[in-house]
Amino acid sequence: MRDYMASSQFQPHRARQAIQDAHMKRTPSLIGYYAGLAVPITRRLAPMGFDWVWIDWEHSAMNVETDYAFMSNGRTIPFVRVPGHDEAMIAYALGAGASIVAPYVETVEQAKPIVSAVCTAPFRYLAGLTDTPVDPERGFWESLNGQAAVMIQIESLEAIQNLDAILTEVPGIDAVWLGALDARPEWLEAVVLYRATVEKHNKPHAGITLAKGDELPADALKLGELMGDLAASKETLALK
């Protein structure tokens, strides 16, 4: 991912280009890891060469700036899942050098200010100005706004049904993450609509990758055994 580094590590990577290159098969699919437990874990994983890391600021008290400092000198692209759609939170994550994951986006009205918050003025949503065709020559602002990527999370049936309108009316969304851990039949049918919509707009889709078949429950059992081993070790040490 060094090829997508910005001129300064205080700026986000050229994540938009990295996503587009992978989507167009110019590079392999991007594989990342989830950092939602503690900062030291990221420090250990950073040298392993993952393409990107998901820093979860929504469900944990992660220190975004410190976590980014562990990103192995720019070899891993950091994405921060912000706690909501607040512009100040998005600005903080951008200032730390990250791209943005926006949770629970369901409507056009929610998506527009998210993309606007990621963009640097003068490229903001102003009726009659920035919603009109722009000069094709790539200048300073276009270059700066071509760095941080915007990934939205679709996590409900309503969001899937509104996705076509969102991708039609809100330019600047780089990828769509589907929260697809619901196994009900009606949800599986909705996933078909999601995939068709994403393909219609030629957008990359993203999601969590789980082990297949018996491997997933086996891994879960191993994790449970590990926790038991840690508890037993703690008791043993307490007796000494």
Judgement on whether residues 103 and 64 belong to the same structural domain of the protein: yes
Spot the catalytic one: 13, 23, 59, 85.
59
The Cα–Cα gap between 114 and 170 comes to 10
pTM (whole model) above 0.85 = no
Q: Which residues contact 188 (CB under 8 A, 6 or more apart)?
A: none
Judgement on whether residues 42 and 65 belong to the same structural domain of the protein: yes
Burial of 39 (0-12, 13-18, 19+ CB in 10 A): middle
**Can you give the pLDDT at residue 135?**
44
Judgement on whether residues 67 and 122 belong to the same structural domain of the protein: yes
128-147 average pLDDT score: 59
Judgement on whether residues 51 and 73 belong to the same structural domain of the protein: yes
120-135 average pLDDT score: 51
User: Is position 59 annotated as part of the catalytic site?
Assistant: yes
pLDDT at 151 over 50: yes
pLDDT at 176 over 50: yes
Q: List the CATH number of the domain containing 105.
A: 3.20.20.60
Judgement on whether residues 78 and 149 belong to the same structural domain of the protein: yes
Taking phi first (over 0 means left), then psi (-120 to 50 degrees means alpha), and beta for anything else, what does residue 139 get? beta
Judgement on whether residues 163 and 69 belong to the same structural domain of the protein: yes
**Can you give the pLDDT at residue 121?**
57
Judgement on whether residues 193 and 226 belong to the same structural domain of the protein: no
On whether the CB atoms of residues 43 and 31 are closer than 8 A, the answer is: no
The total domain count for the chain is 2
**Can you give the pLDDT at residue 115?**
94
Between the two ends of the chain, the Cα-to-Cα distance in Å is 48
Higher pLDDT, 123 or 230: 230
Judgement on whether residues 224 and 112 belong to the same structural domain of the protein: no
Judgement on whether residues 157 and 228 belong to the same structural domain of the protein: no
Judgement on whether residues 141 and 240 belong to the same structural domain of the protein: no
pLDDT at 123 over 60: no
Q: Using alpha carbons only, how large is the chain's radius of gyration in Å?
A: 20
93-103 average pLDDT score: 88
Q: Which residues contact 76 (CB under 8 A, 6 or more apart)?
A: 1, 32, 46, 49, 50, 51, 52, 53
Judgement on whether residues 225 and 148 belong to the same structural domain of the protein: no
Judgement on whether residues 180 and 239 belong to the same structural domain of the protein: no
**Can you give the pLDDT at residue 149?**
94
Lowest mean pLDDT among 27-36, 152-161, 210-219: 210-219
Domain that holds residue 91: 2-209
Higher pLDDT, 36 or 134: 36
Residue 112 DSSP code: H
172-190 average pLDDT score: 84
